[in-house]
Amino acid sequence: MSETVLESPKETRYLLDPAARRSRMIRRTVLLAVGLIATFLLPWMIYPPVAMDIAAWALFAISVDLLLGYTGLLSFGHAAFWGSSAYVTGLIAIKSGLPFPVAILGGMLAAMIIAVPIGWLSVRRAGIYFAMVTLAFAQMIYFVANQWKDVTGGENGLQGVPSNFFGIKLVESDSFYFYYVAVLLIILGAWAAWRIVHSPFGRVLQSIRDNPARARALGYDVEKYKLAAFVLSAGLAGLAGGVFAISHGFVSLQELDWTTSGKVVLMTVIGGMGTLWGGPVGAALIVLLEDALATSGFDGIGIITGSIFIVVVLLFRRGIWGTATLLIEKARKAIVSRKRS
C-alpha cells in the first residue's frame, strides 16, 4: 500500500509554518480544557441523568461525524449499533452481574462485530444507495429484536438493567456519582475519535471523502478504508449506546428504531459536520430542548427540532460550530492583516 499521506493546502501551510502550528496547538489546548471543564461541571448545572444523556448522545453524534463528516458516508442505520450494544450491555449486566464498564465494553464489541458484514456489503455503494442499505439492515435488526422476545423482551424491552460497580449500584445510589464514572468512558471514546481523524489514517479518510478516484489512483484500497471507518464508527456508537442503557436502567425497541438514526444525524448536521466538536454541540442543544419541552408538557417536539434543523441548514451551512469557527477565523485573519498593514 502506498505510504503517501494526502495533505490539504491548509494542512501543508500548518506543517511549513511553525507560528501557525503553535497557534493551532494553543487553540486545541484551550478547546480541550474548556470541553473537559464543561463536561465535569455539567451535572452541577443540570439534572445529572440529563447530563448523562447529553454525554452519551454527544459520543453517538461524534461516531456519525467520523463516518459522515470525515469519510463522506451518510448512514441512516446507525441505531443498529447504538441499540444492539444497548441490548448486549443490558443482557451482560443482568445475567452476569459484572461491573457495568465491562458490560459496556461487551456491547461495544458486539456492535463492531455486527458492523463488519453490514459495512462489507454497504461500502460498495455510495450516496443515497449507501444510506438506504444501512437503513435496511437496521430495520432487519429491529425486526429480530422485536421477535426474539425470550431474549430482548420484545415490545417490553429489557427491564431492570443494573449499574453494578464492584458491588455498588451507582444509578440507584446516586446518579451524580454514576455520571463521573460513566463519563470517563465517553471521554475515552471522544479521545479515540480525535486520534483517528488526526492520524494518517484519518487524512486518508478525508481524501477519500473529497476525491475517492484520486485516492484509489494513489494506491489506497478505498473500500477497505471505508469498512475500517464504518466498524470504528460502530464501536463508538456502541460505547455510547451501552452507557445510555446502564444510565436508564432499561433498553427499549426505540434504541433500534430508524428515528434514532435520524435524530443523531440531525444532531451532527446542526452542530457541524467534519468538526468533532459539532456533535456534542448539536447533542446538547437537542437533548436540552427535548427535556425542556417535555417538562413543559409540549407535544410537538418534532415540529420544533425540525424547524431548528431547517433554519440551521438554510442560514448556517457549516452547522453551529462550523459557522462559529469560520467567523472567528475570518476575524482573526482580518486582525492580523490590519496589524501587518
What average pLDDT does the segment 96-116 reach?
93
In this prediction, residue 166 carries a pLDDT of 78
Return d(Cα 73, Cα 227) in angstroms, integer.
11
Select the more confidently predicted residue: 221 or 31: 221
Percent above pLDDT 70 for the chain: 92
Return d(Cα 321, Cα 11) in angstroms, integer.
20
In this prediction, residue 160 carries a pLDDT of 87
pLDDT band at 25 (very low <50, low <70, confident <90, very high): confident
Return d(Cα 147, Cα 19) in angstroms, integer.
60
Q: Does the pLDDT at position 1 exceed 60?
A: no
pLDDT band at 116 (very low <50, low <70, confident <90, very high): very high
Give the total residue count for the chain: 341
Residue 197 exposed, middle or buried by CB count within 10 Å (0-12, 13-18, 19+): buried
Helices (H), 161-318: 170-173, 175-197, 200-210, 212-217, 222-248, 258-271, 278-296, 301-315
Per-residue pLDDT of 298-327, as tens digits, reads 777 777 777 877 887 777 778 888 888 888
**Radius of gyration from C-alpha coordinates of the chain:** 20
Residue spans of the domains in the chain: they are 9-257
Q: Are 51 and 42 in contact (CB under 8 A)?
A: yes
pLDDT band at 13 (very low <50, low <70, confident <90, very high): very low
Report the b/e string of 278-292 with b at 16+ CB within 10 A.
bbbbbbbbbbeebbe
pTM above 0.95, yes or no: no
- Backbone dihedral angles phi then psi of residue 47, each to the nearest 5 degrees: -60, 125
Select the more confidently predicted residue: 322 or 121: 121
Q: Does the pLDDT at position 244 exceed 90?
A: yes
- Mean of the per-residue pLDDT values of the chain: 86
What average pLDDT does the segment 146-163 reach?
88
**Which cell numbers in the block locate residue 256?**
433500534
**Architecture of domain 9-257 in CATH?**
Orthogonal Bundle (1.10)
In this prediction, residue 341 carries a pLDDT of 65
Return d(Cα 223, Cα 182) in angstroms, integer.
34
Q: Are 237 and 109 in contact (CB under 8 A)?
A: no
The DSSP 8-state label assigned to residue 317 in this structure reads T
- Backbone dihedral angles phi then psi of residue 278, each to the nearest 5 degrees: -65, -35
Per-residue pLDDT of 201-234, as tens digits, reads 999 999 999 888 888 888 889 999 999 999 999 9
Give first-to-last CA distance, the chain, whole Å: 47
Per-residue pLDDT of 68-82, as tens digits, reads 999 989 999 999 999
Q: Which of 11-20, 113-122, 317-326 has the highest mean pLDDT?
A: 113-122
pLDDT band at 16 (very low <50, low <70, confident <90, very high): very low
